[in-house]
Structure 1
Amino acid sequence: MSKKRKRDPETLEHSAGTPADLKSSKSEKDKSKPKKDRNERLESSEKPEAKFASLANATEIDSITEGNVVDLANDTMEVDEPVALKDAATGSDEKQSSKKDKNKKRKDEDLSTGHLSILSKFDKYRAEVLASGPRIVAKEIVSEEPLQGLHPLPQPAQAPVQKVDPNSVLPSYLSQPTTVPTSQRPPFESFGLPELLLSRLEKLGFKDTFPVQSALLPLLLPDNRLPPSTPRSDLLVSAATGSGKTLSYLLPILASLINRIVPHTYALIIVPTHELATQVQRTAHSLAAGTSLKISTAIGTRSFEVEKDHIIANDIGSTGADILIATPGRLVEHIRNNPQFTLRHLQWLVVDEADRLLSQSFQDWVEVVGDELQKPFSREDEQGGFDITSMGLRTPKRAADTVRKVILSATMTRDVGRLAGLKLRRPQLIAVDDIGGQEMAIDGSDNDGEDQETADKGLRELNSLPSTLEEHYYPVSNPTQKPLILAKLLSDSQTKSGILVFTKSNESASRLARLLELLFAKKLGKKRKGSSGKDWRIAVSTSDKRKKEISANTSKFKASTIDILISTDLMGRGVDLPNAQLVINYDSPRNEKDYIHRVGRTARAGNKGITWSLVEDSEARWWWTGIGKVRRSNSDGINKESAPELNDEALQIYEGTLEKLGREVRGS
């Protein structure tokens, strides 16, 4: 809006004449403007603002706009200066008088006209805002119309959102494991396994899965609904011994490699002992019968040069092992000293009995294997030196980008420092628990009276025992009489075979075996029924024995030609002894993990088993604080028994036995 000029009648009257006179009169008019007019203009400029502020309310605005609408098309808000000068030049008194009246009237209406112009714009904007609501709703309705001829792309299943404990110092995948109940055992045929594997399972007598298998097979088997490049989570698995962990990872590996064309080392299974490696190899051979897959071991039972020919590629490009089962020490030796051995085509990395493998260095096997997986591919690594990029195919950068890692143990460590070396991708912890899928206590809050050291262990470990295990606790007040107490318990027991006894050292195992032989020879124990009057058959397997002797004793124990096998924790991990009915802790284990692995030699694969623990009075408090707090699904818990009574005759026989053993040790 242009500035409005105030017209004085006298000024207009003197302005008639020549242009020069007009110019002069205009100058004089500007100089002769009184201050009073300026003050009136200032007051008039303030009044509209005050009035506009009072009209901010929407109802007042509506009332003003409805009752005081002015036709702006017929009224002008400013004076056209050339027309005013022309009228002044006519010198007509009548026109000057009418002009004066008109200007005076316009002076009064200018304020309301200007305000109404602003208010009309405001009212128009307010109407647009109020009208915008229905348009937004209409837009949402249109967006809900179904699309024609378009289908959404298949998306991978979303991982369940787990609650995170803000007070936990562990990563979310460790502090909130996915627990799996043991109530469901679907058949193997429901998981889409290849027909060849299903037929092999049927011949081996496997029809329904165990809980650990039903939990892992859907996560590990290839998913045809997802693109091959879709990243899959690495898994940590905590399940009781004898729960079927070996089958749970062998089946997915075999299913993924059953149609392989070019032989390479595609799967690496790392185990702590050669006994467990041999056991895994036998299971894999049984399942892979009828396929062209090759399975071998690197465990140090044969010379290094002979072993090389069974696990590496030869001159024609084939390999001795599509699936390699190795102990960590021997594996490191091949990586460092065998230039032809490579893990660059690896697709599966399985670490069984992970808690033991990670707690000991074994020539820094974690770092060595990790560095090997990080080695980049080169064109010479392709099939026969052929460059697949010439066909438009993209070569993976390194094996670490695609390898799937599966970490298993009955006592899974939750030590972040130990697990960090494995460099897991999007890890997920699966705990197969007989409690029925309940969340596991990890913060020690439910351990009344528990010391801080044991509570800290609860943060780091996942421990569980089979639900079919029956536990018995026998207090021993006099440790010197412990061999006699054991002999008395065995003589009174209904179990006459399949007995596994654990001691704390090689010397203790050998000494106990000889004392039991002498005590049974003294007719302290009863003859075994159905054995043609033969005494108990006892054998010892310790680390100071030759590997062939240990393997022979294991085979005899499985065949029930040995009744009692006495050993250290050498036999406590990974060894499958299906006929073990009774496990005896003659000497208390060093910790809860050793106890779990010891008693896990029985009550395997859903079968029942019994364990005895002979605990000295000095060990009782530690035993109940540590081992007594291990999670149990068996509602009976631990049965506290009374040690058998020893009469004078038994004590005399025992003293004579000790004297004879002393003479044998002295060689007299």
Structure 2
Amino acid sequence: MSKKRKRDPETVGSNAEVSADSKPQKSKKDKSKPRENGDERPASPEKVTFASLANVTETDPSTEENVAEGLNDSMEVDKPEDPKSIGAGSDGKSGSKKEKKKKKKDEDLSTGHLSILSKFDKYRAQILESGPKTVAKEDVPEEPLQGLHPLPQPAQVPVQKVDPNSALPSYLSQPTTVPTSQRPPFSSFNLPDLLLHRLENLGFTDTFPVQSALLPLLLPDNRPPSTPKADLLVSAATGSGKTLSYLLPILASLINRIVPHTYALIIVPTHELATQVQRTAHSLAAGTSLKISTAIGTRSFEVEKDHIIANDTGSTGADILIATPGRLVEHIRNNPQFTLRHLQWLVVDEADRLLSQSFQDWVEIVGDELQKPFPIEDGNIGFDITSVGLRAPKRASDIVRKVILSATMTRDVGRLAGLKLRRPQLIAVDDIGGHEIPIDGSDNEDQDQDQETADKGLRELNSLPSTLEEHYYPVSNATQKPLVLAKLLSDSNTKSGILIFTKSNESASRLARLLELLFAKKLGKKRKGNSTKDWSIAVSTSDKRKKEISANTAKFKASTIDILISTDLMGRGVDLPNAQLVINYDSPRNEKDYIHRVGRTARAGNKGITWSLVEDSEARWWWAGIGKVRRSNSEGVSKESAPELNDEALEIYEGALEKLGREVRGS
């Protein structure tokens, strides 16, 4: 029996096979000393290689199983054999070598198994991550899923119709329409008792559609004043009650005010409309301490200052200021005591006209004034609103509520941008019974509308009251138009309340004098019960003094004047309750002017009539533009025949023209 030799450390973990005749020799370069007690030196983990795993590139489940089985088999430790049995084989020398080789292999695996297992886990993880995601199937019983019932879903928001060719923002292309069938009483709204009593005394019990739509949105609620609210754009026909719809919320919010300041600013285009709004506000605010004043240029600048600001002379200033844009800019620039820092309401009435004209850049100037930061002493308001999660306002623009109104609301984004609206919403009330307004502003059934009119509809919302009766009279000979009008009026049963619009001051004065001369000759049939009465005619144009214009308006309302002839000066914002007939002697410049002209009648649900005398050269333009304006009246425009002119009427007309010529020449 041969003795066991000490193992060469360099042979531990090597992949070279030991031949049967070779004898292990200690390397001369190995200078390491053998351990004491004859312990064999274990193999270094760094020298142990696992080539079979390094060559694995695919994550085949069978490959992983075979590798694992090989490791398990190789890690089994054989029981030590009886020394007597060593070399008992037929070939003692060969058996001894095989035994040594086997023991060497077992010792290599036993000493490096920790390193091999760690490397195996590392390589296995890398292979699983880099290879295809295949997982060996295992017979694992599936557990029933629990708690995965479908959650209840909220109702889907109806899809809004969007014009893919429109560049308008959604609030302009998709206005909120208001049905006209609902007219709840004022008592159903959260109005102060004082205002309800005033409305009842003035004869107002039920709301108009525009009022029923705006009051819930504008009346004060329980939210803090600094809570942001949406600004409103309102498109409603003339005479639909827009003035009352914004005055009531303003008065309701200021009725308990303590310190007088300019809390509400109402901007209008003309001093006539300003006076009318002031009169309505005074009627509603009777019995309160609120002060309402105007800045419209009808009095000197120094006198006006004492009425709109608080000063040492005892004036309490104006809580509600109604101003024209030019005069307002003058106060902002030249009145250092005037400020808008306390402003809570900004109302722009007849917005299409105010925005289409510069008026000394009032939009930019008012906007800059609202952006001025509050003084430091105004920062302490007595209550820290930030404690309830609100942001403290730093300027008036943070709290002011803007209401923009017009009968022909512009949808020009460029014009509206200067107003710096906050979360704007467009409310459209046009007596269409609550039907949706098409994006192009035209009827769905009307497919013949030309592209030019459709493009205009994208920019503006136009509508006419349902109680308006429209008549179209063609005039083939323009030189005889005054005679045609005189004949129509003479044959009509309308005795007063007639408003006639012309294109210029000269045309208004000339027509007024010709009608006086023609009526003096008793042209046409005599009016029943009024055969001896002459027509009373007045002219209100821009070349007249304001006092004269106001006097004519008052006389017309009192029916002292039968016929009032004017330019578009009287076409906006003037309430003429007794106007029964509106006549377009000269065609308006556009659809907007037509809507505002005829809007002087058929107001507040009353009936009204309009005549349009159209020359042949204007007929095509008239029908393509004005004829396509959206109407709630199903009858539309009635095309009539011009009256026949006999020789006697023509002779009277020739005499009137001759006399007018002599008067003009002064002969």
- TM-score, normalisation: structure 1: 0.81
Listed one character per residue, the Cα deviations across residues 342-372 of structure 1 (whole Å, up to 9, x for unaligned) are 1110000000001111111111111111111
Contact 2:441–2:461, Cα closer than 8 Å, also in 1: no
Say which of 411, 414, 425 aligns to 1:414: 411
Deviation of 1:48 after TM superposition, in Å, equals 7.2
**Which residue does 1:476 correspond to in 2?**
475
Contact 1:11–1:25, Cα closer than 8 Å, also in 2: no
Contact 1:262–1:318, Cα closer than 8 Å, also in 2: no
Contact 1:473–1:640, Cα closer than 8 Å, also in 2: yes
After superposition, the Cα gap between the structure-2 partners of 1:25 and 1:342, relative to the gap in structure 1 and judged at 3 Å, is closer
**Which residue does 1:320 correspond to in 2?**
317
The yes-or-no answer on 1:197 pairing with 2:189 is no
Deviation of 1:571 after TM superposition, in Å, equals 0.6
Q: What does 1:260-409 align with in structure 2 at a 5 Å threshold? A: 260-315=257-312, 319-380=316-377, 382=378, 388=380, 392=384, 396-409=393-406
Contact 2:226–2:393, Cα closer than 8 Å, also in 1: no
After superposition, the Cα gap between the structure-2 partners of 1:93 and 1:22, relative to the gap in structure 1 and judged at 3 Å, is farther
Contact 2:371–2:395, Cα closer than 8 Å, also in 1: yes
Contact 2:467–2:608, Cα closer than 8 Å, also in 1: yes
The yes-or-no answer on 1:440 pairing with 2:438 is yes
Deviation of 1:434 after TM superposition, in Å, equals 2.1
Contact 2:473–2:642, Cα closer than 8 Å, also in 1: yes
Say which of 215, 221, 235 aligns to 1:238: 235
Deviation of 1:311 after TM superposition, in Å, equals 0.3
**2 CA distance for matches of 1:133 and 1:614?**
88
Q: What does 1:468-507 align with in structure 2 at a 5 Å threshold? A: 468-507=467-506
* SS of match in other structure, 2:60: helix
**Which residue does 2:592 correspond to in 1?**
593
After superposition, the Cα gap between the structure-2 partners of 1:309 and 1:117, relative to the gap in structure 1 and judged at 3 Å, is closer
The yes-or-no answer on 1:247 pairing with 2:244 is yes
After superposition, the Cα gap between the structure-2 partners of 1:294 and 1:70, relative to the gap in structure 1 and judged at 3 Å, is same
Listed one character per residue, the Cα deviations across residues 56-96 of structure 1 (whole Å, up to 9, x for unaligned) are 9xxxx9xx89xx99899x977387xxx99x99999955899
Deviation of 1:530 after TM superposition, in Å, equals 4.5
**2 CA distance for matches of 1:13 and 1:129?**
50
Partner AA of 1:53 in structure 2: D
Contact 1:501–1:565, Cα closer than 8 Å, also in 2: yes
Contact 1:444–1:456, Cα closer than 8 Å, also in 2: no
**Which residue does 2:131 correspond to in 1?**
none
Listed one character per residue, the Cα deviations across residues 94-148 of structure 1 (whole Å, up to 9, x for unaligned) are 899788779999999x99xx999999999xx97999999979954x68x989xxx
Contact 1:186–1:209, Cα closer than 8 Å, also in 2: yes
Q: What does 1:541-556 align with in structure 2 at a 5 Å threshold? A: 541-556=540-555
Say which of 42, 56, 60 aligns to 1:53: 60
Q: What does 1:576-587 align with in structure 2 at a 5 Å threshold? A: 576-587=575-586
Contact 2:174–2:439, Cα closer than 8 Å, also in 1: no
After superposition, the Cα gap between the structure-2 partners of 1:159 and 1:311, relative to the gap in structure 1 and judged at 3 Å, is farther
**2 CA distance for matches of 1:88 and 1:293?**
121
**Which residue does 1:151 correspond to in 2?**
none
After superposition, the Cα gap between the structure-2 partners of 1:117 and 1:366, relative to the gap in structure 1 and judged at 3 Å, is closer
Listed one character per residue, the Cα deviations across residues 601-640 of structure 1 (whole Å, up to 9, x for unaligned) are 0111111111000000111111111111111121111111
Contact 1:264–1:318, Cα closer than 8 Å, also in 2: no
**2 CA distance for matches of 1:607 and 1:174?**
30
Q: Which stretch of the first structure deviates more once superposed, 428-437 or 569-578?
A: 428-437
Partner AA of 1:427 in structure 2: P
**Which residue does 1:665 correspond to in 2?**
664
**Which residue does 1:606 correspond to in 2?**
605
Q: Which stretch of the first structure deviates more once superposed, 536-545 or 393-402?
A: 393-402
**Which residue does 1:184 correspond to in 2?**
182
**2 CA distance for matches of 1:534 and 1:655?**
24
**2 CA distance for matches of 1:413 and 1:245?**
16
Deviation of 1:379 after TM superposition, in Å, equals 3.4
Contact 2:464–2:599, Cα closer than 8 Å, also in 1: yes
* SS of match in other structure, 2:611: strand
Contact 1:299–1:330, Cα closer than 8 Å, also in 2: yes
After superposition, the Cα gap between the structure-2 partners of 1:318 and 1:399, relative to the gap in structure 1 and judged at 3 Å, is farther
**2 CA distance for matches of 1:497 and 1:90?**
147
Contact 1:277–1:325, Cα closer than 8 Å, also in 2: yes
Contact 1:469–1:608, Cα closer than 8 Å, also in 2: yes
Partner AA of 1:418 in structure 2: R
* SS of match in other structure, 1:336: helix
**2 CA distance for matches of 1:469 and 1:631?**
13
Matched pairs, number: 618
**2 CA distance for matches of 1:613 and 1:499?**
13
After superposition, the Cα gap between the structure-2 partners of 1:98 and 1:191, relative to the gap in structure 1 and judged at 3 Å, is farther
Contact 1:263–1:318, Cα closer than 8 Å, also in 2: no
Deviation of 1:181 after TM superposition, in Å, equals 2.2
Contact 2:296–2:323, Cα closer than 8 Å, also in 1: yes
After superposition, the Cα gap between the structure-2 partners of 1:11 and 1:191, relative to the gap in structure 1 and judged at 3 Å, is farther
Deviation of 1:391 after TM superposition, in Å, equals 6.3
After superposition, the Cα gap between the structure-2 partners of 1:136 and 1:229, relative to the gap in structure 1 and judged at 3 Å, is farther
**2 CA distance for matches of 1:282 and 1:129?**
90
Contact 2:503–2:568, Cα closer than 8 Å, also in 1: yes
Say which of 59, 74, 77 aligns to 2:75: 77
**Which residue does 1:617 correspond to in 2?**
616
* SS of match in other structure, 1:349: strand
**Which residue does 2:4 correspond to in 1?**
none
**2 CA distance for matches of 1:274 and 1:544?**
15
Deviation of 1:167 after TM superposition, in Å, equals 1.8
Q: Which stretch of the first structure deviates more once superposed, 240-249 or 91-100?
A: 91-100
Contact 2:226–2:398, Cα closer than 8 Å, also in 1: no
Deviation of 1:451 after TM superposition, in Å, equals 5.4
Deviation of 1:472 after TM superposition, in Å, equals 0.5
Contact 2:441–2:630, Cα closer than 8 Å, also in 1: no
After superposition, the Cα gap between the structure-2 partners of 1:69 and 1:365, relative to the gap in structure 1 and judged at 3 Å, is closer
**1 CA distance for matches of 2:240 and 2:415?**
25
Partner AA of 1:593 in structure 2: K
**Which residue does 1:511 correspond to in 2?**
510
Contact 2:539–2:565, Cα closer than 8 Å, also in 1: yes
Contact 2:234–2:409, Cα closer than 8 Å, also in 1: yes
Q: How big is the alpha-carbon RMSD for the aligned residues of Structure 1 and Structure 2? A: 4.6
* SS of match in other structure, 1:222: coil
**2 CA distance for matches of 1:101 and 1:167?**
87
**2 CA distance for matches of 1:439 and 1:398?**
37
Deviation of 1:448 after TM superposition, in Å, equals 5.6
- TM-score, normalisation: structure 2: 0.81
* SS of match in other structure, 1:516: helix
**2 CA distance for matches of 1:132 and 1:558?**
94
Gaps of at least 5 residues in structure 2 are: 1-11, 27-31, 89-95, 129-133, 387-391
Contact 1:48–1:115, Cα closer than 8 Å, also in 2: no
After superposition, the Cα gap between the structure-2 partners of 1:512 and 1:319, relative to the gap in structure 1 and judged at 3 Å, is same
After superposition, the Cα gap between the structure-2 partners of 1:389 and 1:78, relative to the gap in structure 1 and judged at 3 Å, is farther
After superposition, the Cα gap between the structure-2 partners of 1:46 and 1:306, relative to the gap in structure 1 and judged at 3 Å, is closer
**Larger relative helix fraction:** 1
* SS of match in other structure, 2:440: coil
**1 CA distance for matches of 2:186 and 2:122?**
82
Partner AA of 2:417 in structure 1: A
Partner AA of 1:534 in structure 2: K
Partner AA of 2:546 in structure 1: K
**Which residue does 2:464 correspond to in 1?**
465
Listed one character per residue, the Cα deviations across residues 144-163 of structure 1 (whole Å, up to 9, x for unaligned) are 89xxxxxxxxxxxx999744
Listed one character per residue, the Cα deviations across residues 565-591 of structure 1 (whole Å, up to 9, x for unaligned) are 111111100000111111000110111
* SS of match in other structure, 1:388: coil
